[in-house]
Every structure is written in structure tokens, then in C-alpha cells.
Amino acid sequence: MIRNSENWLLKVENLTKIYGEPGPNTLSKTGPLFNSNICPDTGSIVACADINFDLYPGEVLGIVGESGSGKSTLVKLLYFDLEKTEGKAWLKPFKEGEENFLEVSNQKKRFIKNHLLGMVYQNPRDGLNFNFTSGGNIAEKLIMADEFHVGRIREKASSLLNKTEVPVLRMDDLPSSFSGGMQQRVQISKAIANNPPLLFLDEVTTGLDVSVQAKVLDLIRELQQDMGISMIVVSHDLSVIRMLTDRTLVMKDGRIVESGLTDQILQDPQHPYSQLLVSSLL
């Protein structure tokens, strides 16, 4: 796949999220240099600031950092779960990438969410509706993309569950009766139901036991290779990042401190914080 400066899929510029009232020096007095994301003047919290990056078709981008570094905030901003404070982002399949999709109407945001994006949360309860069956959860995503044929919905849902190795027999069961790994796989099938070009994975393997983790990671890698989806993988676990991603951003206190090829960052980290992360890798 061609990756040049013209061929981006997602372009993010100066994305910022601040909780509370920011002062004039809020951004210059927070960040990794000050080892804090709380503004000393106003007490506002800079969840993430000044985020710039491009993502190319078929690429997997890792975002790594300690808890509270703003990595989840970043994907939640892009998935409209949170309202940005500042910044712009463009998505190629939405109006040829000419309109900042963070500032469109709610209807259009929902269109983007249903047709162009997928999200897998750490906790399946955030991504799935536990009052609906697992088939119903996938159906919701398909219905939102204007599929009103029950037969076709069920066909699609069972092929998705097949792909993610959830027994199709359990399609009409509630996800609350599933194991954690199965719930996570149902969530993945829901996220990829409409073949989105871009998928966000937010700490997908945290909280699963090691063998299930490996299976879920295998699944994600397979899906990525089969369908060529671009992904943003958020994790504090460097082994997940190493296994899945091509390129990595290292975040600390709401800022990107280092970015580059994953292998490069793991072999030869430049920023002291990245060095600390890599050296603490078991």
C-alpha cells in the first residue's frame, strides 16, 4: 500500500482536551517537562494537548504510555465519546478528507461512527448493550447502517461471530452469560460489522488472562491482515504494541514525547521516559 504524504487516511492536528477553565499559560506550564498535567495557575487538567499525527491506510498505530497519560482520551475524542477542546481532524473517506469531522453536526457524527469507525473498549460493557443478545448487538450496528432485512442481518452476524470464533449457537444469548474473552470477541465483531476503514482498540487485552489475551491478539492481527483495516491500538503493554503495531507514539502527561517505527522505539528509545518504559519491560 502506498504511504506518502498525500495518501493519509486520518490526519490529526493540534488535538487538545482540557478539563476545567484553562488559563493563558496552561499549556506552557504542563507536560512532561513539568511532570504534571495539572495547570498550577487554574487547576485545570490537560488530558491531552498538541497531538499531531497522520495514519495511513492499512497501518497499525500504537499509542503507549502510563495510565493518565491521555491515550484513551485521544481515541475517545476521535470516536466522539468526548468533546474536544481544540484541534482538527480529517478522515479521507468522509467528504474526501476536506471537512474537519470533529465539528460536524451530530447526525453526521453518527454517520461517521456507524459507517467509517469501529471501537473496541477495554470493558465490554462500554461497547456492548448487555440488555440485547450478542446477535442483537451486531444487528444494532448493521441497522444503523440501514440494513432492515432480518435474514441478512442474521447471516452477517453469524459470519462475523464465526470469524471471531464465538460459537454461532450462542448468537441469541445475552453477552452477560459469556466469558470475558468471548465478550471481547463479540465486541470486536460488532466493531467490524460495517467493514470500517478505521478501528480503535482501547486496552483490549487488559483484564483477560494470558492465553485468552494471545487468542484475542491473534484474532486482531488476522482481521487486520485479511481486511486491511487501519487501527489505532492503545495500550500500556509494550508486548501488545510490539506484536500488533507498525508505528508507535509514546505519550506522557498528555503530550506525545516520542514517535517512530515500533521496532526502532523498542530497540533504541530516545526519550528518557521511553527508555524507562522499555527497560521496565519484563
Partner 1 sequence: MIENKKFSNQYNFAFIDESTKKEIRRKLLKAIAIPGYQVPYSSPEMPIARGWGTGGLHVTLAIIGKADVFKIIDQGSDASVNACNLREFVHEMTACKTTYDTQEATLIQTRHRIPEEMLRENQIMVYQVPQPEPLRGVERYEFRTRQMHGEADYSKMWVSLYESFVRSGDIMLGAGYPVKVNDRYIMATSPIPRWDVPNLHFSKALHLYGAGREKRLYAIPPFTKVHPLEFEDVKFHIEDFKKSKCYKTQINSAFLDELYLDDGTKEYVINDSNFLDKILEEENPIQHENPYLNELKA
136 binds partner 1 (CB under 8 A): yes
H runs (alpha helix) in the chain: 71-78, 106-115, 124-127, 134-144, 150-163, 180-191, 210-227, 238-244, 262-267, 272-279
Q: Which of 126, 172, 222, 268 binds partner 1 (CB under 8 A)?
A: 172
83 binds partner 1 (CB under 8 A): no
The CB-of-113 to partner 1 minimum distance in angstroms stands at 11
3-state SS record for 208-276: CCHHHHHHHHHHHHHHHHHHCCEEEEEECCHHHHHHHCCEEEEEECCEEEEEEEHHHHHHCCCCHHHHH
The CB-of-146 to partner 1 minimum distance in angstroms stands at 10
Maximal CA-CA distance, the chain: 59
107 binds partner 1 (CB under 8 A): yes
Sign of the dihedral defined by the CA atoms of residues 80, 12, 72, 38, in that order = negative
187 binds partner 1 (CB under 8 A): no
150 binds partner 1 (CB under 8 A): yes
The CB-of-121 to partner 1 minimum distance in angstroms stands at 18
Site size for partner 1 (CB under 8 A): 19
211 binds partner 1 (CB under 8 A): no
The CB-of-187 to partner 1 minimum distance in angstroms stands at 16
Q: Which of 5, 67, 106, 279 binds partner 1 (CB under 8 A)?
A: 106
Q: Site residues (CB under 8 A) for partner 1? A: 106-107, 110, 129, 132-133, 135-136, 139-140, 143-144, 148-151, 153-154, 172
